[in-house]
Amino acid sequence: MILVTGASGALGSATLDHLHALGAEAVGGTRMPNHAALRRIDFDDANTLHFDGVDTLVMISAGAAEDDVVIARHGRTLQAAERDGVRHIVYTSLTAAGDHLGFALAHRWTEQRIRRGSIPWTILRNGLYAELIADLLSPRDGTITAAFGPHGVAPVVRDDLAMAAAKVATNPLPHTGNIYDLVGAKTITAAHVAQALCVDFQPTSLEHLRASFDGAGMLPFQPGMLVSIHSAIAGGFLEETGTDLEALLERKPMNALDFIHQTLQGTGPIT
């Protein structure tokens, strides 16, 4: 049996849907199960971390928190998986190019913990979601503002990452000990998105970006995480494309620029 954690989240729920569509015996784990087919799994509550009967654990990172919180979450979950005899772990991590991002450390800690642990594993190093890039480049008053500099990023549509996770989880053995870098096949810039939407692009500085977060009511870790996405792109660190996703999917990944265009259409004046 396959268990997918984070089953209420966007990636976890899509992975579970793909698993069911592939005919796999799969259940979802989530902090707040709202129907009988879901199990309660909360990485913050050791009492919920029971994996008896689970052959393959698809561990969706729970990364929206400070490093120490995420590390503690992932550490206790892996400990419980080892105790309960899980046979394979598929962990959704972060692209190697994302090492400079503010949320990289907890991912790399988790990878190291998995590699030093006793359960055979596969690590899916997910690129930045096209959904996230669409959100960051959403035009306001007909203008896209970003501190990406002239550089780009190779984003991935989240549903493709979910399909890749589902494919690996249904047949994990050939993927044992493999790390896949699941970045997009094309680099896109803020200017490309502005051109596709027929809106203006106004480059901004990291200083202005930071100032725009003042009084926005963010949690303490959020401004640093967000700024790190812009600064890593502006540093040219996230431009590299890859082919691992296409190989896992056995088809071309969805076109991220088309996806972002469709997502944002209607948010700016179309000329």
Ligand X SMILES: NC(=O)c1ccc[n+]([C@@H]2O[C@H](COP(=O)([O-])OP(=O)(O)OC[C@H]3O[C@@H](n4cnc5c(N)ncnc54)[C@H](OP(=O)(O)O)[C@@H]3O)[C@@H](O)[C@H]2O)c1
Strand partners, 88: 56
Residue 31 sits in the site that holds ligand X (CB under 6 A):
yes
- Could you tell me the smallest distance in angstroms from the CB atom of residue 32 to ligand X? 7
- Residue 252 is classified by DSSP as P
Structure token digits, residue 54 = 């689970």
Residue 222 sits in the site that holds ligand X (CB under 6 A):
no
User: What is the rounded radius of gyration, in angstroms, for the C-alpha atoms of the chain?
Assistant: 19
- Could you tell me the smallest distance in angstroms from the CB atom of residue 154 to ligand X? 12
Q: Which segment (4-12, 139-147, 233-241, 258-266) binds ligand X by CB under 6 A?
A: 4-12
Say how many residues touch ligand X, by CB under 6 A.
Answer: 24
CA separation for the pair 14, 32 (Å, rounded): 17
- Residue of the chain from 2, 49, 51, 61 that contacts ligand X (CB under 6 A): 61
Nearer to ligand X, 215 or 217 (CB): 217
- Residue of the chain from 9, 139, 149, 184 that contacts ligand X (CB under 6 A): 9
Strand partners, 201: 144
Q: What is the DSSP string of 5-63?
A: SSTTSHHHHHHHHHHHHTT--EEEEESS--STTEEE--TT-GGG---TT-SEEEEE---
- Residue of the chain from 2, 3, 4, 6 that contacts ligand X (CB under 6 A): 6
- Residue of the chain from 20, 24, 39, 42 that contacts ligand X (CB under 6 A): 42
- Could you tell me the smallest distance in angstroms from the CB atom of residue 48 to ligand X? 8
User: What's the half-sphere exposure (Cβ side, CA atoms, 13 Å) at 196?
Assistant: 22
- Could you tell me the smallest distance in angstroms from the CB atom of residue 95 to ligand X? 8
Nearer to ligand X, 34 or 271 (CB): 34
Burial (CB count within 10 angstroms: exposed 0-12, middle 13-18, buried 19+), residue 252: exposed
Residue 27 sits in the site that holds ligand X (CB under 6 A):
no
Q: What is the dihedral of CA 109, 120, 157, 101, to 10 degrees?
A: 10
The owner of tokens 């913990």 is: 113
Residue 63 sits in the site that holds ligand X (CB under 6 A):
yes
Q: Which segment (7-15, 79-87, 199-207, 242-250) binds ligand X by CB under 6 A?
A: 7-15
Q: Which segment (58-66, 108-116, 134-142, 252-260) binds ligand X by CB under 6 A?
A: 58-66
Residues 80, 29: contact at Cβ < 8 Å?
no
Residues 115-154 that bind ligand X (CB under 6 A): 126, 128-129, 132
- Residue of the chain from 1, 64, 247, 270 that contacts ligand X (CB under 6 A): 64
CA separation for the pair 3, 1 (Å, rounded): 7
**Are β-strands 143-146 and 56-60 bridged in parallel, bridged antiparallel, or unpaired?**
unpaired
Structure token digits, residue 173 = 């053995």
Residues 157, 99: contact at Cβ < 8 Å?
no
Residue 60 sits in the site that holds ligand X (CB under 6 A):
yes
Nearer to ligand X, 8 or 79 (CB): 8
Could you list the residues that contact ligand X (CB under 6 A)?
A: 5-12, 30-31, 42-44, 60-64, 73, 126, 128-129, 132, 158
